[in-house]
Amino acid sequence: MAQLLKALLSASEKSANIARLWRQEENLFQMLIEEKTGMDKNKKFVQDFKTLADVLIQEVIKHDVGQKFPELKSYIGGEESNKFENGLGETIIVEVCKTKQETAGLLYHILDHSEVAAQLLADIIHQDVVIEDAAAETVTVNIATEAMGIWIDPIDSTNQYIKGKTDVIPIDGIYPYGLKSALVLIGVYDRNTGDPVIGIINEPFYQQDCKTLQWRGHYYWGISYNGTNISSVPRPEPQSSISVVLSSSENENIKQSLSSLCGRKLYYACGAGYKFLCLLTGHVDTYVFSEDTTFKWDSCAPHAILKALGGGILDLAGSLKTKGKQHAELPELKYNKPIQDAMGANQWANQGGLIAFVYRSHAEVILNVLDQVSIN
């Protein structure tokens, strides 16, 4: 188990290195943006971009983890397709090749025949990343990897990653937008039960050196499996009054109701992963989202960490229907089954919305408030 966790942590850190490299090289970065279309597009956004960073990070994680755990290779899924169109109009399948030279050759065609850029990226992709984490080394939980699957969000909050704002002022420790909301999310789930098992959130842009302007990252992990709960994150202390983070696009009725409940402790932020992170770091008590535009790759990793802390992520619509029924258990999100008759990314949407929490009592307060609200 420790070996799987270390492999996932190493893959997340290599991914963070790739994300940082591209943001530091502005000329290179402008070559890497393509607008998503059709079934790949998130209907929440008028424009929904993917970058080669997204696609390549996803393929790097698949490659690195799949090499060490071949039984998982066919069950690693994510947000992005591995097709990318370069500035010359060529559509290319993005993959990590057997050798650094072969990968550089592939990237040369993707990057409009820029040999220097292709070599720079190939060097990072084929670099061994060693993680020294004493707590991860001591993990002794036995997980049946042959029954697991993995969801990847290579760069959650891609739009904020592209905009790259670094001068954002936080409100009570929460950044409403900007580069800090761009995260790498890797979640392991049980293919039989659909339960989240391991979560890793890597924050590539955790802290910037004021002199060199270079970024350093930080990661968080958690395991929840067969009654064992371990996390690198301490459980946040409950606050005297409840606080909530929302998307700015949230339903106006929900905004008004939660504003009455929370007062000035109602916050707004970009990126599903970042809003989950605000819970894990104790900045808010709950995250509520009523729409169906988050997906399994957004929530699997943070869900596993929240479970390790005694929390969880409920299906919002399902919980509102179930609430008040005798002996009924509030439904948590599951990760193993697509939505019937849905197409493309939508088959993996969190269709009923969600409510994330560390303390279940906070979720119950929110559900009591929203039970009186017209969401649709």
Per-residue model confidence as pLDDT tens digits over 284-317? 999 999 999 999 999 999 999 999 999 999 999 9
Q: Give me the pLDDT at residue 86, please.
A: 66
Q: pLDDT band at residue 40, thresholds of 50, 70 and 90?
A: low
**231 contact partners, CB below 8 Å, separation of at least 6:** 220, 221, 222, 223, 305, 308, 309
What is the 3-class SS of 66-103, one letter each residue?
Answer: HHHCHHHHHHEEECCCCEEECCCCCEEECCCCCCHHHH
pLDDT at 278 over 70: yes
Whether the Cβ atoms of residue 13 and residue 217 lie closer than 8 Å to each other: yes
Q: How many C-beta atoms lie closer than 10 Å to residue 114's C-beta?
A: 17
User: Catalytic site residue 123?
Assistant: no
Window from 6-10, 77-81, 198-202, 265-269 with minimum mean pLDDT: 77-81
Catalytic residue, candidates 51, 158, 293, 294? 158
Q: What is the pLDDT of residue 372?
A: 84
CA–CA distance, 258 with 244 (Å, rounded to integer): 8
Q: What is the mean pLDDT of residues 195-211?
A: 96
Q: Region 230-249: what's the mean pLDDT?
A: 94
Instruction: Give the list of residues 6+ apart from residue 26 with CB closer than 8 angstroms, or none.
Output: none
Catalytic-labelled residue, pool 13, 80, 153, 291: 153
At 44 the pLDDT is 39
Please give the C-alpha separations between residue 114 and each of 31, 88, 95, 176, in angstroms, as whole numbers. 10, 12, 18, 36
Q: What is the pLDDT of residue 327?
A: 56
Q: Is 198 a catalytic residue?
A: no
Identify the band that residue 8 occupies on the pLDDT scale cut at 50, 70 and 90: very high
What are the tens digits of pLDDT across the range 48-77?
A: 345 677 888 999 999 999 999 999 999 999
Report the Cα 124 to chain-centroid distance in Å: 22
Average pLDDT of every residue of the chain: 90
Q: Is 195 a catalytic residue?
A: no
Q: How high is the pLDDT of residue 35? A: 47
Catalytic residue among 13, 18, 51, 54: 54
% of the chain at pLDDT higher than 70: 91
Comparing 120 with 360, the larger pLDDT belongs to 360
| Residue 112 per-residue DSSP state | T
Give the residue from 275, 8, 39, 27 showing the smallest Cα distance to 156.
275
Residues 93-120 pLDDT 10s: 889 999 999 999 998 887 777 888 889 8
* Predicted confidence (pLDDT) at residue 375 exceeds the cutoff of 90: no
- Residue 89 — pLDDT band, cuts 50, 70, 90? confident
Q: What is residue 32's predicted lDDT score, i.e. its pLDDT?
A: 58
The single residue of 61, 125, 150, 155 carrying the catalytic annotation is 155
SS3 at position 29: helix
Q: 346: which 2 tokens?
A: 């939508």
pLDDT at 366 over 70: yes
Q: Residue 27: what pLDDT?
A: 62
pLDDT greater than 50 at residue 47: no
Look at residue 162 in the predicted model and tell me its pLDDT. Answer: 86
Specify the pLDDT at position 222.
Answer: 98
Contacts of 353 (CB under 8 A, 6+ apart): 288, 289, 290, 291, 292, 315, 316, 317, 375
> Which position among 79, 195, 292, 315 bears the catalytic label?
79
* Whether pLDDT at 34 is above 80: no
Quote the tokens at residue 169. Answer: 């002022």
Distance CA 28, CA 280 (A): 34
User: Known catalytic residue: 54?
Assistant: yes
pLDDT at 113: 79
- Asked if pLDDT for residue 332 goes beyond 70, the answer is yes
Residue 238 — very low, low, confident or very high, per pLDDT cuts 50/70/90? confident
Candidate list 156, 195, 250, 292, residue with the active-site label: 156
Distances (CA, A) of 375 to 235, 255, 372: 31, 10, 9
233 Cβ neighbours under 8 A, 6+ residues apart: 220, 222, 280, 281, 305, 309
